[in-house]
Amino acid sequence: MKNLENNKLIADFMNVQPIQYDEHYQWSDGVYFSVSGVEKDKVLQHIYEYVKYAESWDWLMPVVEKITSISLLDNVNECNYIYIGFDYEDNSHYVNLYHGEDAQINGFSKTDKIEAVYAAVVEFIKWYNKNK
């Protein structure tokens, strides 16, 4: 359920919304998909399970691109930036997403780099929505 909420958060941030055509849907960015046979009250859950932000770099990197193109709230001449690394002592992937001189959001994963980036992206969007 957590990924479902996070996927909706990311889709909203990216201004990507499902558009309904009878029993078929198309993302507002042009990707077509079908949810035929899904009960009406479960359609939105199915839609946000469809997105692959937590699994695919093709889905997640446009989000990272958007985040790093946003001007800092306190300095329009600078943008957010992201640092992705691997801690050999802890044997884990980490992400530092900087949104100010000293302010940063972190994501960690023992197993997967995309999981660490996804976690940092979600935390950044929560912070951004609260502070913009």
Domains and CATH numbers, the chain: 2-51 (no CATH), 58-131 (3.30.160.20)
Predicted confidence (pLDDT) per residue in 7-17, tens digit: 889 988 988 77
- Tell me the CA distances in angstroms from 103 to 29, 110, 111, 122, one per residue in order: 32, 23, 26, 16
Predicted confidence (pLDDT) per residue in 53-102, tens digit: 888 999 899 998 888 888 766 666 666 767 777 787 888 887 777 666 66
For residue 25, give the DSSP letter: E
Q: Which of 18-32, 39-53, 78-92 has the highest mean pLDDT?
A: 78-92
Q: Could you tell me which residues come within 8 angstroms of residue 112 by beta carbon, excluding any fewer than 6 positions away?
A: 93
* pLDDT in the model for residue 9: 92
With a cut of 60, say whether residue 18 has pLDDT above it.
Answer: yes
Of the CA atoms within 13 Å of residue 88, those in its CB half-sphere come to 0
Strands (DSSP E) found in the chain: 18-21, 24-27, 32-34, 71-72, 75-79, 81-87, 92-98, 104-109
Confidence at 34, pLDDT banded by 50, 70, 90: low
